[in-house]
Amino acid sequence: MTDLPAACARHFLPPYLLERIASGGSSRLSECARHTLLVDGRFRARAGAVALPQGSARRGEPARYVYSAEQQQTLPGTLVRREGEGDSGDPAVDEAYRGLGATYRLFWEAYERHSIDDDGMALLATVHYGQDYENAFWDGRQMVFGDGDGELFNRFTIALDIVAHELSHGVIQHEAALAYVGQSGALNESLCDVFGSLVKQRELGQSVDEADWLIGEGLFTDRIVGSALRSMAKPGSAYDDPLLGRDPQPGHMDAFVVTEADNGGVHINSGIPNRAFHLVAMALGGHAWERAGRIWYDTLIDTRLRQDSDFVAFASLTVDNAERRFGAASTEAETVREGWRGVGVLLP
């Protein structure tokens, strides 16, 4: 077993959604949301207690381990499926296993990255965490997935991009380590949505025109009026529900949300860089992971990207990386500039 420094947990569901359910849901739903908030708060205070099993020494081959917490709050739990083993028959276990593999394939085959740390780090996931736990998170060493409450939220492994989103937090941790607050935190969340969407698109063989650009599709049950948790194409349009409220994400700096909640709006203002990526990917066409995704990945691993980088700093680096890879006068470089201008981050 190897060990890693602890990192603050990164949760998929933003706290403001759980707070709305806690204050306005039925007695059962309110209790589920309050319990989830309590658990999430504990992991924000102390994360990353699990050591890792052996990773992969062979580049191009992942080392996946999927455990079940069996509705307890013990990590990692009982090992159910490991690299090379067949389906377990447990949907959450097998979805997590496939999601880890799909995410590894994107980073390896598109960007030649060998796992989270580029050194074969074991990909560890725990499913069936807690009872009616309504979230998923990266805790600095592994991914953890709840089963949802069955009324508002399905199991959190149901959407491939949720698995990929959480694993991408690990990649960010090992590269820029973007501070999880304010604009740098929103960039952290946005990058996870970007790579989560790219994993989904690549697995489905979709072009930019075929992709739905939704994050967390399938997570909501039929009781929620909404298609997903976020929309990269149209931030603010993913849901509009009597209990959850309306998707609060802005898609332009004109509507940037100034707040102390949600670590300074990390899940809210991420809609702005999300839409910038969507604009770039749509303008370039084809497969988003090939050019737009390559530029965003180059920027993530750029040593000039600081932990406290804001939107302008990140945008400027994406332009520079597009010029470095494709040429200063290239279509790609100008398209990246236009994408950030389109959301008001870079000036015309």
The residues annotated as belonging to the active site are 166, 267
Length of the chain: 348
User: Which long-range contacts (C-beta less than 8 Å, at least 24 apart) are formed by 335-338?
Assistant: 335/280, 335/283, 335/284, 336/280, 336/295, 338/279, 338/280, 338/283
- How far CA 327 is from CA of 158, 245, 319, 330, in Å, comes to 40, 45, 10, 5
State the virtual CA torsion across 36, 37, 38, 40 in degrees, nearest 10.
80
CA distance 205 to 196: 14
E strand or H helix at 319, and its extent? helix 311-326
Residue 287: both structure tokens together:
């497969």
CA distance 271 to 190: 7
CA distance 133 to 150: 10
- How far CA 125 is from CA of 54, 78, 185, in Å, comes to 14, 11, 23
CA distance 249 to 263: 15
CA distance 160 to 137: 14
CA distance 328 to 337: 11
Residue located via tokens 């009026």: 225
Residue 169: both structure tokens together:
């937090």
> 63, exposed or middle or buried, with CB in 10 Å at 0-12, 13-18, 19+?
buried
